[in-house]
Amino acid sequence: MAAAEDSNNNLKELAEKDYKYGFYTEIESESAPKGLSEEIIRYISKKKNEPEFMLEFRLKAYRHWLTLKEPDWAHVDYQKIDYQDLIYYSAPKKKPKIESLDEVDPDLLETFNKLGIPLEEQKALSGVAVDAVIDSVSVKTTFQAELAEKGIIFCSFSEALQKHPELIKKHMGTVVPYTDNFFAALNSAVFSDGSFCYIPKGVKCPMELSTYFRINAANTGQFERTLIIAEEGSYVSYMEGCTAPIRDENQLHAAIVEIIAHKDAEVKYSTVQNWWPGNYEGKGGVYNFVTKRGVCEGDNSKISWTQVETGSAVTWKYPSLILKGDNSAGEFYSVAVTNNYQQADTGTKMIHLGKNTSSTIISKGISAGYSNNSYRGLVKTAKKAINARNFSQCDSLLLGDKCGAHTFPYIEAGNKSSVIEHEATTSKISEDQLFYCLQRGIDMESAIGLIVNGYAKDVLSKLPMEFAVEAQKLLAISLEGSVG
């Protein structure tokens, strides 16, 4: 692993070459003026023709946000954000209502084709319905009609506000209240769009649902909100992907995801997060400050989070689960790769409230370059959560001697019958394994790619097929140039 200088020369090239999503599309967009105020919030709400309760919710959140301080406890270091220098609403100019794809801005269509997310249904991956969100606004949701036949609602958050306000009013903010944290309050005040998904009682969703988030405009914060409700006995697998153009300045992404699983329902939520991570010197990149939480409301319900995090300059994200129903189960599978100057502080919270609840945490962190990668997780069993079970495995792999890998688990046991196990290891990539690969004629970079993918396999195997292949490639690309 010598010849650090040589590889350094290639780093710049590699870092930018391999982020194939770094382009910017000239799309005519309509933006709110910079800055944040009640006025701006009213503007957003009006623009979106929202019901009164929504505006009230936003204003309450905004007023609460004003009382909060930006948190600083995470193991990340970034330049303070000037919240008055951001644009809180930017939307592609579009015709008021899109009935067919012919009406979608062709530049936009092209953008998504380039991203590998065709919005034409006949070209789309079979079995995946996509909600495409650019900057802050959902532009197109595919396969809506097919889904509607089963009673499944899958549409943009704005559309849901118009068509199903009662569902939103009932559930929004029940899992992540606006008082939850600084960024949740900010999102609750200014969120512009996102995805909404409702699976009725007893329905198994026949296809993967997917939201694709794209930041395009400059100086724009992206604040979307996803709400998934799985009624009794239903099932849905949901995927989320993200990219952003290469820009020198930092972009803020502060999203909220809320999931509610009722009795016997199961929700699988997969994320491949590939926001622009900044260049090899750590310039630019997305600040990814996300609050994701699910609640297993009913007995025997199950929610699982799977995430592959390769992007963003700074990630601050803890997809969590509240296991309320008896026998409910939660899972968290994560691979987080950091290279160059990326910083990730990610993990999960498993709050066991119901009887016989169980949770599994598998986290694989891979650090390279000058990056810092932290796992932070809480496992808590309440007094009434008798026979709660948790197993956590958090491994870190270090590539190179300039990076850091950190593990911060918190375990709080509140009753005598819980069994909680946490294991973690930190190590470097094995020289023996590398040599074995080299001896078979596999070069250093491919060898590292192979070994790292093998290391992350437990998590990758949890991803839906469509995502798994992409994620594997992404992993190898993210680490290119990390070892000379």
Question: Residue 52, interface with another protein (CB under 8 A)?
Answer: no
Total residues contacting another protein by CB under 8 A comes to 59
Residue carrying structure tokens 């999102």: 187
Question: Residue 261, interface with another protein (CB under 8 A)?
Answer: no
CB of 94 or CB of 364, closer to another protein: 364
Residue type for 133, please? V
Q: Nearest 5°: CA angle at 392, between 376 and 243?
A: 55
H helices present in 92-221, as ranges: 106-114, 144-149, 157-163, 165-171, 182-190
CB of 278 or CB of 409, closer to another protein: 409
Smallest gap from Cβ 427 to another protein, in A, equals 6
Smallest gap from Cβ 456 to another protein, in A, equals 7
**Residue 355 CB partners (closer than 8 Å, separation 6+):** 326, 327, 384, 385, 386, 387, 388
DSSP letter at 103 equals: G
Question: Residue 438, interface with another protein (CB under 8 A)?
Answer: yes
Half-sphere exposure of 393 (CA within 13 A, CB side): 10
Smallest gap from Cβ 338 to another protein, in A, equals 13
Smallest gap from Cβ 315 to another protein, in A, equals 18
Question: Residue 53, interface with another protein (CB under 8 A)?
Answer: no
Question: Residue 71, interface with another protein (CB under 8 A)?
Answer: no
Contact 330, 350 (CB under 8 A): yes
Contact region for another protein (CB under 8 A) — 88-96, 139-147, 273-281, 416-424?
Answer: 416-424
Residue carrying structure tokens 């809506």: 144
Contact region for another protein (CB under 8 A) — 26-34, 44-52, 125-133, 439-447?
Answer: 439-447
Q: Residue 219's closest CA among 136, 127, 110?
A: 136
Question: Residue 415, interface with another protein (CB under 8 A)?
Answer: yes
Question: Residue 95, interface with another protein (CB under 8 A)?
Answer: no
Question: Residue 455, interface with another protein (CB under 8 A)?
Answer: yes
Q: Which of 69, 80, 93, 440 binds another protein (CB under 8 A)?
A: 440
Q: Residue 259's closest CA among 292, 235, 233, 232?
A: 292
Report how far apart the first and last C-alpha atoms of the chain are (Å, whole number): 5
Q: Residue 258's closest CA among 238, 280, 285, 288?
A: 238
Q: Which of 120, 412, 469, 473 binds another protein (CB under 8 A)?
A: 412
Question: Residue 403, interface with another protein (CB under 8 A)?
Answer: yes
Question: Residue 430, interface with another protein (CB under 8 A)?
Answer: yes
Alpha-carbon torsion (21, 26, 31, 33), positive or negative = positive
Contact region for another protein (CB under 8 A) — 28-36, 202-210, 287-295, 407-415?
Answer: 407-415
Interface with another protein (CB under 8 A): 75, 383, 386, 396, 398-428, 430-433, 435-444, 446-447, 450-451, 453-458
